[in-house]
């Protein structure tokens, strides 16, 4: 994770701001902290930092102005020009302790080596949303649903997309964010940047009548419910029980952060430091650390 932390900070040096969790390009401007509209799903943070990971050739293989799929195989037909590089494994985003890294997906998924990730952006922190949809939700749009958010961190509570996967704009990296160091008022050593996960969905655990759902390290917005594939909200305890090889984990709010390390999971703070947090950490502290301008960020 330290390598990823340095790459993100290298992006900040180059661009003057942290990378957004994912870029979306709406068809027209819609105001509000969480605005939904038809548009084009762009690249996630993992693709944006590839030059800082010294993977310029892989970066150049993507068409950044083209559509990025969120779920494979379900969205394989609409991922278009970026489908192949999105489905190609990148070991920089796989934890060596994860047994999922050596798996191979069947024809319902990637039909090849697992290309998932064990590292996601922390887009905020807070309790389970009680509202059905985020403010600004527009209609029951399927597949073409794109999401875009504010350009500064907010203290808004997390809210839902079309399904269970929540959104937040209270962290350092979120939808279309442009967060600068000065906006992290809780302090960079007290604000999550990245977190470890073991819930990256595999097709074998999430089958539909028309295909399967599988995320990759380069997945973007999950068009089916408006959620983000490679970002999550700090809310529940670490390492809650769910195996994406055999079950549907990705759409459920409580399955966000965890690892195959005994006793906890690793997190990167906004200052680039890496911390191993024990499973005993309370949800209240996790939620606080997920926010970057809450006024009460604190390390356990």
How large a percentage of the chain has pLDDT more than 90? 36
Instruction: Of 38-52, 133-147, 211-225, 259-273, give the lowest mean pLDDT range.
Output: 133-147
Question: Is residue 106 predicted with pLDDT exceeding 70?
Answer: no
Comparing CA positions, the residue from 214, 185, 220 lying closest to residue 201 is 214
Mean local confidence (pLDDT), 275-286? 92
**141: pLDDT strictly greater than 50:** no
* CA distance linking residue 45 with residue 20, whole number of Å: 6
Tell how strand 231-234 and strand 119-125 pair up: parallel
What pLDDT score was predicted for residue 45? 97
C-alpha radius of gyration, the chain, whole number: 17
pLDDT in tens, 87-104: 899 999 999 888 877 777
CA 80 to CA 73: how far, in whole Å? 12
Are 205 and 246 in contact by the 8 Å Cβ rule? The answer is: yes
Predicted confidence band at 253 (pLDDT cuts at 50, 70, 90)? low
């Amino acid at each position: 994770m330290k390598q990823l932390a340095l790459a993100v900070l290298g992006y900040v040096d180059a661009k003057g701001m942290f990378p957004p969790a994912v870029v979306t390009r709406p068809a027209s401007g819609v105001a509000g902290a969480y605005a939904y509209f038809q548009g084009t799903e762009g690249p996630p943070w993992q693709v944006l930092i590839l030059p800082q990971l010294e993977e310029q050739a892989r970066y150049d293989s993507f068409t950044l102005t083209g559509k990025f799929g969120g779920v494979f195989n379900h969205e394989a037909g609409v991922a278009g020009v970026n489908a192949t590089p999105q489905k190609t494994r990148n070991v920089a985003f796989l934890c060596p302790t994860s047994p999922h890294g050596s798996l191979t997906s069947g024809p319902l998924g990637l039909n090849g080596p697992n290309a998932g990730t064990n590292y996601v952006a922390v887009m905020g922190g807070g309790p389970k949303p009680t509202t059905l949809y985020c403010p600004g939700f527009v209609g029951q749009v399927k597949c073409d649903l794109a999401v875009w958010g504010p350009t500064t961190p907010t203290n808004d509570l997390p809210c839902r997309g079309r399904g269970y996967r929540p959104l937040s704009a209270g962290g350092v990296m979120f939808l279309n964010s442009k967060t600068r160091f000065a906006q992290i008022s809780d302090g960079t050593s007290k604000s999550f940047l990245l977190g470890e996960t073991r819930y990256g969905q595999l097709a074998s655990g999430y089958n539909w009548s028309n295909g399967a759902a599988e995320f990759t390290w380069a997945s973007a917005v999950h068009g089916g419910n408006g959620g983000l594939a490679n970002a999550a909200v700090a809310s529940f305890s670490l390492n809650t029980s769910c195996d994406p090889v055999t079950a549907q984990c990705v759409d459920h709010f409580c399955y966000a952060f965890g690892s195959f390390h005994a006793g906890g999971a690793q997190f990167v703070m906004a200052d680039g430091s890496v911390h191993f947090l024990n499973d005993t950490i309370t949800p209240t502290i996790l939620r606080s650390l997920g926010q970057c301008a809450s006024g009460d960020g604190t390390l356990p």
